[in-house]
Structure 1
Amino acid sequence: MTVYTAVKTIAKSQGKSIYRIERDLGFGNGMISKWNKSIPRADKLQAVADYLGTTPQYLLRLAKEEK
């Protein structure tokens, strides 16, 4: 699993879309989907984790476990 997939999984369980997260946080359209192939900046990952009510460590651990 990638960081993007981990974020998408948690967001879906909360009834939120990736588009809505990006819009609410002021990110560019498609920025989170780029995390499918790269590691996000720490500040962006923190913002998404805060938005989803989790921690960056949890998102990274979830991404690593499902590989």
Structure 2
Amino acid sequence: MLYENVKELCKKNNITFAHLERKLEFGNGTVRKWEVASPSVERLEKVADYFGVTTDWLLGRVS
């Protein structure tokens, strides 16, 4: 759910995962790893803040 939600936000904002990773100072491929692994709370919060959504939304807890 998290990976798909981040993918959707990137698409809506016309940016790539690579662009998001550079802006948030993540390593290359970090976001793609979330397809099978969970990020740290700090990284989750950074992504939520960047897109102006809640961490609950990113995690699929609210619609």
TM range (shorter): 0.7 to 0.9
Structure 1 counterpart SS, 2:42? helix
Structure 2 spans left out of the alignment, 5+ residues: none
Letter in 1 for 2:54: T
What is the TM-score normalised by the length of structure 1? 0.83
Q: Which residue of 2 aligns with 1:18?
A: 17
Alpha carbon RMSD of aligned pairs, Å? Answer: 1.5
Structure 1 runs (4+) greater than 3 angstroms displaced: none
Structure 1 spans left out of the alignment, 5+ residues: none
Deviation at 1:11, TM superposition (A): 1.3
> Identity, % of aligned pairs?
37
Bigger helix fraction: 1
Structure 1 counterpart SS, 2:11? helix
What is the TM-score normalised by the length of structure 2? 0.87
